[in-house]
Every structure is written in structure tokens, then in C-alpha cells.
Amino acid sequence: MREITYSEALREALRQEMRRDEHVFIIGEDVGIYGGAFGVTRGLFEEFGEERVIDTPISELGIAGAITGAALTGMRPVGEIMFMDFMTLASEQLVNQAAKIRFMFGGKATLPFVMRTPAGAGTGAAAQHSQSLENWFVHIPGLKVVMPSTPYDAKGLLIASIRDDNPVIFIEHKLLYRVKGPVPEEPYTIPLGAAEIKREGQDLTIVATSVMVQRSLEAAAQLASEGIEVEVVDPRTLKPLDAEPIIRSVMKTGRVLIVHEACKTGGYGGELAALIAESEAFDYLEAPIVRLAGRDMPIPYNRTLEYHAVPQVENIVAKARELAQGRI
């Protein structure tokens, strides 16, 4: 199978869905002529024109309001917020309006939109352009939250999100845009709410999200040389969560390390830890549930400090080794 980048996979998903369904359109800052802040929408303006690839003023609240209104009238908009940090400015429309309208209308209204946004540190973009705020939106009933970690997942999950009749927050990590992987040329979907085991193992389970899946797989390869076989589970969709593969994996290995980039306090790892503790997997645990997450601090501009603010491969290796060897 051919290999393309994460960014190319997203662009291909958008192009194929726009060709398939005239109700799909893209709207956001610099998504048109410029091709998107990270190049994801490059070339789509030339193919589909200004009525379907719409550049907006600098107003994240306006973008969120536009896709909410358009979705209510039967369109399937794909909005883009240039950095996830600026989702804070769009929260009124996303949290107080879009997430609640279908419930308040007794199911008579649907809101089939996707809000794409890049998150995460590692580009030297400092405290206001490097946050991972996924758990803010996981907390809101009515929103679906997706975090693909591979090009294959990016395409399949984006197509599924566009076709879904509910508002979807689609979170892409900046450091994943250049990652390459096998992706079929034809359109395909990955169901929202379907976790995947990215690597089989029997000594330890790592549950990781987004770019931390890639780092966990690298860590698992290093640990394999030491005789420690790690199983890596990727939820892919944070909400709705496919809990069963996670629970089965923990029951098999008896040890679990949860890895994510967002700050540890209030992060998604706490939800996963509670899920495991409240499940039948609890009786199979041979060690405490361990979380490895970003530090509770703004992301520094200094590249060395930024590196140490979020989990890296060596941190995952060290923590997993301690856990597998019974030193935790």
C-alpha cells in the first residue's frame, strides 16, 4: 500500500468527501488561498472555489457560530481553528449551543459538523499556541472528541466524522502532520468509538493518545530488546470511548501506564484510571495504575524546557520499565 503523510491523508479525506457530497464545505482562517496554517487544505480552494472553501476574519467564535448555523440548515461544514488554544474563544457556540441543541429539540435537529484543530507542543510555539485541551470538550455532553494518531486513522476517522450527525471535535497534533503511513486511496471510514490495539504484548499495557501513541510504540520497541513486551492501546475516539479493548488488555497484562500530553491534573488519564478501577480489570491489577502526562505548567518557549514539559520516549521507557519490573 502507498504511504502518505498525516496531513495528506486529512486533505484526501476532505477532497473525497467534498466531491461526494455538495453539502460539505470548509471554513476557517487562512484555509483558502493560503491552504491552512499547516497546509492541510492546500489546493482545495483551487478545486472547489470560494463558496466551499471559505476564508474568514479572525473570529473563532464566528467560525463556530457559522458551522453551527450551517449544520442546522442541512449543510455538513468542516470548521478549522488554527490552534487549539483558540478553541477557548469558540467555546460559547460549541459548548452552550451546538452540544445542547439536539437534546433540547428532542432529536428533531441535527448538527453534522466537524471542528478541526491542531494541538500540542513541540514546535516552539510557546504557552498560547501549544496546549492540549481535549478534556475540556470530553467533559461536555453532546460533543464527540476524536484524536487520530496515524495517517490511516486520520483519513478514516475524518470521513466518519464528516458523515456523523453530531458535532465532532477533531484534534490533530502538529508533530503528526509529517508522519507517514499506509493509507488506501479509496474512501473508507473508521467508526467513532472504536479503540485499536497498536501493538500486542503481555507484560504491560500502555494506553496512549495522539502523538503519545507514536512515542509509546517507539518505547515499546526499545523495551522489547530488554524482554519486556508492551501492549499499546489507542482509544482513537475519546468520546464515545471504546472501553472494552482497554479493560481486556489490562486484565491480560495486570499492569497499566496511561500516557497523554495534556496536563496531568484534570487530564484524560484520570478518566481512564477511574474506568479501569471501576471495571472488572481492577481485580487483575498487580500494581497501581500509573499516569504519565504533561507537567501542570504553561508550555515554555525555551525549546529545552518545552521538551521536558511533556512526556518523551525516554520518560515512557523509564516509567514502563519500573512498572513492569514491580518497582512501582
**Residue 96: other Cβ atoms inside 10 A:** 11
Burial 264-286, CB ≥16 within 10 A → b, else e: beebbbbbbbebbeebebeebbe
Angle between the N-to-C axes of helices 244-253 and 268-277, in degrees from 0 to 180, rounded to the nearest 10: 70
Q: Is 129 a catalytic residue?
A: yes
Burial 12-26, CB ≥16 within 10 A → b, else e: bbbbbbbeeeebbbb
CA distance 151 to 297: 30
Q: Name the amino acid, one letter, at 294.
A: G
Tell me the torsion sign for CA atoms 237, 148, 12, 186: negative
Starting at the edge strand that comes first in sequence, how are the strands of the sheet with 204-208 ordered?
196-199, 230-234, 204-208, 256-263, 290-294
**Backbone torsion region of residue 112, taken as left when φ is above 0, otherwise alpha when ψ lies between -120 and 50, otherwise beta:** beta
User: Could you tell me whether strands 196-199 and 230-234 are parallel, antiparallel, or unpaired per DSSP bridges?
Assistant: antiparallel
**Given the residues 129, 139, 173, 260, the one annotated as active site:** 129
Q: Which of 37, 35, 39, 44 is nearest to 14 (CA)?
A: 44
Burial 300-321, CB ≥16 within 10 A → b, else e: beeeeebeebbbbbeebbebbb
Catalytic positions: 129
